[in-house]
Amino acid sequence: MDKLRAMNIFVRVVEMNGFANAANGLSMPPSTVSRVIKDLEAHLGARLLQRTTRTLSLTPDGTLYYDHCLRILSEVNAVESSLSGSTAPPRGRLRVDMTASFARRVVLPAVSEFQHRYPEIDLILTLGDRPVDLVQEGIDCVVRAGVPDSSAVLVARQIGSFEWVTCASPEYLKQHGEPKSLEDLDAHRVIEFLSGRTGRSTDWRFLVDDEERTVRVSGSLAVNDTDAYVTCGLQGLGLIRIADFIALPYFQDGRLVNILGDYRAPEVPLCILYPQNRHLSPAVRAFVGWISLLVREAEPTWRLFRRGELAKLE
């Protein structure tokens, strides 16, 4: 049995949700596809697909085998493409994990350009900020804020940085006034943000005389989703603290106001992490290069915004 061929056919059956669709995509008779899957199941001694007259679904064994097939086929493509004589464009499935806020504000507005440049890459974006096991979960790379823990199996490449900014709606400030110092925060309503990694409220960190100062905030309302958190600020429910790239459009249209501007925050690195592998997938390499350039081009705007120089953006 040609195992790689069988794996490829199995993956196409799953992705195309049927034998006939997979056969059309592979330009082979449906009977051949059906026979390959049957032989593969016999070879493995496990049922991979649950078939009914109208539906096709993976069994638990099938799900496990499908995930491993994706990883193996991706690695084979990566090795072939990395050979010195290869001129093939990057191709294949690429799974990238990042926070929803970063995806919506930075990546998705520009993703059509990536697709135009690399039409043979099938990009899958999963959104979240929980810790992930890239190898076990079949994720090619992740974008995360902060300095990652050192790892013998992952490469961490900084692609940029951002700052947290404190803000409130004009309605809130009209009703409650504007805090002028960190001590004034105790007298204000603060919306807590619950970390997706720890489940605990996120502290606010500022630079005071070039030294970092941590302010533990508490309030009567807490959320664990960035869009919900921003909505709380827009609705005038309290003070919020968000990344500058998220705050920028709201400051420009006047729906949020920058407060405590004299208290800067430490810069937070933006990093992309991917497995340490001498045969790095051309698709991963292409995405790392593209997103690095994307952030590098956007950062000057973020920096002007941090300094309160929005007029220079006009």
Range with lowest mean pLDDT among 2-6, 14-18, 138-142, 270-274: 14-18
For the cut 70, the answer to whether the pLDDT of residue 97 exceeds it is: yes
Question: Is the predicted pLDDT of residue 86 greater than 60, yes or no?
Answer: no
CA distance 33 to 18: 10
- Please tell me whether residues 78 and 209 are part of one structural domain: no
pLDDT 10s digits, 35-46? 999 999 999 999
Q: 156 in a domain, yes or no? A: yes
Q: Please tell me which residue, 284 or 129, carries the higher pLDDT value.
A: 284
Average pLDDT over residues 100-121: 93
pLDDT range class, residue 312, cuts 50, 70, 90: very low
In this structure, the answer to whether residues 254 and 307 fall within a common structural domain is: no
The helix (H) or strand (E) run that includes residue 172 is helix 170-176
Q: Which of 58, 82, 106 is the last residue of a domain?
A: 82
The CA distance from 262 to 153, in Å, is 41
Residues 218 and 300 in one domain: no
The answer as to whether 23 is a domain residue is yes
- Residue 87 maps to a domain: no
**What is the domain extent for residue 154?**
92-162+268-313
Considering the domain boundaries, does residue 307 fall inside one? yes
Q: Are residues 170 and 246 in the same domain?
A: yes
Give the total number of structural domains in the chain: 3
pLDDT band at 88 (very low <50, low <70, confident <90, very high): low
Q: Is the pLDDT assigned to residue 264 strictly greater than 80?
A: yes
| End-to-end CA separation in angstroms for the chain | 64
Give the amino acid at 153.
V
> What's the average model confidence in pLDDT over 13-27?
82
Domain edge (last residue) among 259, 276, 303:
259
Torsion of CA 97, 99, 100, 106, to 10 degrees: -90
Main-chain phi, psi angles of 213, to 5 degrees: -125, 130
Q: Among the three residues 28, 47, 82, which one is the final residue of a domain in this structure?
A: 82
pLDDT cut 90: percent of the chain above it: 39
- 10: nearest Cα among 78, 73, 80, 54: 73
Q: Examine the domain organization and report whether 274 and 300 are in the same domain.
A: yes
**Cβ neighbourhood burial of 276 (10 Å; 0-12, 13-18, 19+):** exposed
Task: In whole angstroms, give the CA distance from residue 298 to residue 249.
Answer: 13
Q: How many C-beta atoms surround the C-beta of residue 24 within 10 A?
A: 14
The verdict on residue 76 lying in a domain is yes
Specify the range with the lowest mean pLDDT, choosing from 75-79, 93-97, 275-279.
Answer: 275-279
Tell me the pTM.
0.68
Residue 299's pLDDT band (boundaries 50, 70, 90)? confident
Kindly state whether residues 75 and 61 are assigned to the same domain: yes
CATH number at residue 31: 1.10.10.10
Task: Please provide the DSSP assignment of 109-160 as one string.
Answer: GGHHHHHHH-TTEEEEEEE--S---HHHHT--EEEEES-PPP-SSEEEEEEE
pLDDT at 314 > cutoff 50: no
* Residue 152 lies inside a defined structural domain of this protein: yes
Residue matched to tokens 């309302």: 221
Question: Do 200 and 234 have their domain in common?
Answer: yes
101 and 241 in a common domain: no
**Same-domain pairing of 213 and 139:** no
Q: Burial level of 54, CB count in 10 A (0-12/13-18/19+)? A: exposed
- 200 in the same domain as 57: no
Answer whether residue 311 shows pLDDT above 60.
no
Model confidence band, residue 307 (pLDDT cutoffs 50, 70, 90) = low
Q: Domain of 229: which CATH number?
A: 3.40.190.10
What digits encode the pLDDT tens for the residues 145-203?
887 665 656 788 888 889 999 999 999 999 999 999 999 999 999 999 988 777 788 88
pLDDT score at 106 = 92
- Reference 180, options 230, 220, 239, 221; nearest CA is 239
Question: Do 223 and 243 fall within a single domain?
Answer: yes
Q: Do 155 and 286 lie in a common domain? A: yes
Whole-number pLDDT of residue 50: 87
DSSP strand pairing (121-127 vs 92-98): parallel
> What token pair was written down for 25?
């995509």
